[in-house]
Amino acid sequence: QDDCSEFRSQFEAGGRLSCTRENAPVRDASGRQHTNKCLMCAEKFKKEAQRGGGAVQRNKLPASERTRQVRCS
């Protein structure tokens, strides 16, 4: 199981997560090896952002709180 909860509060819009390059190998659920847990989670968040779900949805404002944009001609 990939538990990236400790990094969720640190990610930025678009699924970006700033990680160190420490060498502490870890494998994800598919068996793919990553340099460290943060980099594994960064890749996971990036995929979630590309799918438009999960992590990025948490940062989006509800429609009622978004400002309406008016197109001026």
Domain holding 39: CATH number? Answer: 3.30.60.30
Is there a domain that residue 16 lies in?
yes
Task: Return the amino acid letter for 67.
Answer: T
Q: Summarize pLDDT for 28-40 with one digit per residue, the tens.
A: 989 999 999 999 9
Is there a domain that residue 72 lies in?
no
Is there a domain that residue 70 lies in?
no
The pLDDT-based confidence of 25 (bands split at 50, 70, 90) is very high
User: Assign residue 56 a region: left if phi > 0, alpha if psi is -120 to 50, beta otherwise?
Assistant: alpha
pLDDT score recorded for residue 2: 55
pLDDT score recorded for residue 72: 60
Is there a domain that residue 31 lies in?
yes
Task: Return the amino acid letter for 68.
Answer: R
pLDDT score recorded for residue 34: 95
Is there a domain that residue 69 lies in?
no
Is there a domain that residue 32 lies in?
yes
Q: Total structural domains in the chain?
A: 1
In which domain, by residue range, is 9 found? 4-52
Is there a domain that residue 68 lies in?
no
pLDDT score recorded for residue 3: 79
